[in-house]
Amino acid sequence: MTETLYSTMDLSDCESFYHETVVPMMENDDFDPTVETPSYAWINRQFPGFVKHLQRQFDLSPAQFYDEIGVPKVERSRASFDFLSDNTRRAIENYLDELETRRGRAEATIDTRRSILRRYAKVYTNIHYTKDLLAPLENPDERVAEMERVATTFDALDQLDDALTTLASRRKYVQDTRQFYKHLVMFGDAEYNPLADLEIRFGWDETPSWDNKALDRDAVQRLYTAATDLRDRFIVIACCGWGLRPSEVASLHIRQLNLEQEDGSHPYIEFDEGERKNGPGTVALLTGLETVERRIETLSDTDWSGYLLPSPASESGHLTAETVRRRFKSVAETANVTVDGERPTPKTGRRFWYTAYGAAVRRVAERFEDVAAEQGSASAQVVLDNYLSESEARSHRRAEMRETLAGLFDS
């Protein structure tokens, strides 16, 4: 794919490209895309135009892009299998050791497999009243009955496990569990793999859809109108108007705000180095300034810590990201706003911002099409890259984005 084709991609297209094009190539290079993300060197070598597009159009580094699309992040875990029979426990531990020591899998991969296998084994034992998962695998005559026991286990997992909420997550559970049984067959500890064709039986063999929807302008306006509390209005603006993450909204401090610029430039938020997971260190405040100033004025009349969302009960001194998510969804309930039939989250608000920003960038490029033709350039993007300084290009983008957001958060 050429850079010209990348330039037409919005954030949703980039996410689809990652899952449909990047992930298969990762698998070919023996990565586990369910828990691993590509290193910067790898993805820049394979898809340099894509990396440049993320940085130019969305101000996203690859690491920040992975965070934006919700690539799973796994906490280190050494959960025990003591509830299983000795031979079953040893078989699972041997399999995990094989992955780590001989196949060189990443720690995150091992932890994910451990967690999935433990959950699967726990449900299996509870349903079928046995601690031994290996005994039925030694007898080929048990094949049909064991396949039914495994299917029943996944029926229960589908009902009980919050992680099994999407087609992709269900397939991941099946595939990771199947690999364990495949290992048993390979080393002679099982006569068959009872998870053969399980996705077909459950109708999970379709291609997953990665098209995560964003809020539209009308929905954002309804959220802002429904947020009668100044705190909730601030949350809606920070997510939808500035494109911040819930954790960034929750911990925002007045020291990060630069509201008065003598040179006439835009007010902005400044993050400490590394605070945004390799993302840009500043975020322009192109809208919502009146709400911010009112929020500061209200808090200044109290014994204030400087956090825009203070919480005296919290050790950190500010609200948690989870509370921000909960407040956002509560406003959505009041406004009766849905996205694909579900209540929106701050992530859908961020997607609105990135979608609007991408459209603004394209409109800026369209204004330079005549210049590109005169220069004999292949596209207007070439003009923006080669004939404008980064600060000039940024100024054009922000002016267009400010116009896009105009009137959206009027009181």
Q: What's the confidence (pLDDT) of residue 75?
A: 43
Domain that holds residue 90: 86-202
Of residues 331 and 122, more confidence is placed in 331
8 Å CB contact between 185 and 191: yes
Verify that 103 and 159 share a domain, yes or no. Answer: yes
Of residues 263 and 224, more confidence is placed in 224
Average pLDDT over residues 340-351: 87
Reported as type and span, the H/E element at residue 6 is helix 3-6
8 Å CB contact between 282 and 269: yes
Q: What's the confidence (pLDDT) of residue 87?
A: 94
What is the residue-averaged pLDDT of the chain?
82
In a domain, 313, yes or no: yes
In a domain, 351, yes or no: yes
Which one of 202, 233, 251 terminates a domain? 202
Confidence of residue 166 (pLDDT cuts 50, 70, 90): low
Distance CA(174)–CA(159), nearest Å, equals: 15
In a domain, 410, yes or no: no
Q: What's the confidence (pLDDT) of residue 194?
A: 95
Of residues 214 and 254, more confidence is placed in 254
% of the chain surpassing 70 pLDDT:
82
Which one of 68, 101, 124 terminates a domain? 68
Average pLDDT over residues 269-280: 63
Verify that 242 and 364 share a domain, yes or no. Answer: yes
> Based on the structure, what is the number of domains in the chain?
3
In this structure, is the dihedral angle defined by the CA atoms of residues 65, 70, 71 and 76, taken in order, positive or negative?
Answer: positive
User: pLDDT tens, 210-228?
Assistant: 556 789 999 999 999 999 9
Average pLDDT over residues 268-289: 74
Verify that 360 and 249 share a domain, yes or no. Answer: yes
Average pLDDT over residues 23-37: 73
CATH number at residue 313: 1.10.443
DSSP-derived secondary structure for 198-239: HHHHHT--SPPP-------HHHHHHHHHH--SHHHHHHHIII
Q: Is the pLDDT of residue 26 over 60?
A: yes
Q: What's the confidence (pLDDT) of residue 11?
A: 84
Of residues 166 and 207, more confidence is placed in 166
Q: How many CB atoms lie within 10 A of CB 168?
A: 14
Verify that 106 and 238 share a domain, yes or no. Answer: no
The answer for residues whose C-beta is within 8 angstroms of residue 86's C-beta and 6 or more apart is none
Of residues 407 and 68, more confidence is placed in 407
Q: What's the confidence (pLDDT) of residue 324?
A: 92
In a domain, 270, yes or no: yes
Residue 155's SS3 state is helix
In a domain, 211, yes or no: no
Q: What's the confidence (pLDDT) of residue 161?
A: 53
Verify that 122 and 157 share a domain, yes or no. Answer: yes
Of residues 309 and 164, more confidence is placed in 309
Which one of 160, 176, 202 terminates a domain? 202
Q: What's the confidence (pLDDT) of residue 292?
A: 93
Of residues 298 and 212, more confidence is placed in 298
Q: What's the confidence (pLDDT) of residue 77?
A: 45
Show the tokens assigned to 287.
Answer: 């809208």
Q: What angle do CA 403, 407, 411 make, to 5 degrees?
A: 150
In a domain, 59, yes or no: yes
Verify that 273 and 378 share a domain, yes or no. Answer: yes
Confidence of residue 393 (pLDDT cuts 50, 70, 90): confident
Q: Is the pLDDT of residue 250 over 80?
A: yes
Q: How many CB atoms lie within 10 A of CB 278?
A: 15
Verify that 357 and 400 share a domain, yes or no. Answer: yes
Q: Which of 26-35, 73-82, 105-114, 296-305 has the lowest mean pLDDT?
A: 73-82
Average pLDDT over residues 180-187: 93
Q: What's the confidence (pLDDT) of residue 177?
A: 93
Q: What's the confidence (pLDDT) of residue 3?
A: 52
Q: What's the confidence (pLDDT) of residue 89?
A: 93
8 Å CB contact between 78 and 100: no
Cα distances (angstroms) measured from residue 44 to each of 64, 94, 321? 14, 36, 31
Distance CA(104)–CA(110), nearest Å, equals: 10
Q: What's the confidence (pLDDT) of residue 184?
A: 94
Verify that 55 and 106 share a domain, yes or no. Answer: no
Verify that 334 and 364 share a domain, yes or no. Answer: yes
Average pLDDT over residues 183-193: 92
Average pLDDT over residues 139-158: 89
User: pLDDT tens, 70-124?
Assistant: 775 444 445 578 889 999 999 999 999 888 887 777 676 787 788 889 889 988 9
Q: Which of 24-38, 86-100, 243-257, 378-392 has the lowest mean pLDDT?
A: 378-392
Q: What's the confidence (pLDDT) of residue 139?
A: 92
In this structure, is the dihedral angle defined by the CA atoms of residues 321, 326, 331 and 335, taken in order, positive or negative?
Answer: positive
Q: How many CB atoms lie within 10 A of CB 52?
A: 15
Closest to 347 in 3D by CA, of 268, 229, 280, 248: 248
Average pLDDT over residues 347-351: 88
Confidence of residue 133 (pLDDT cuts 50, 70, 90): very high
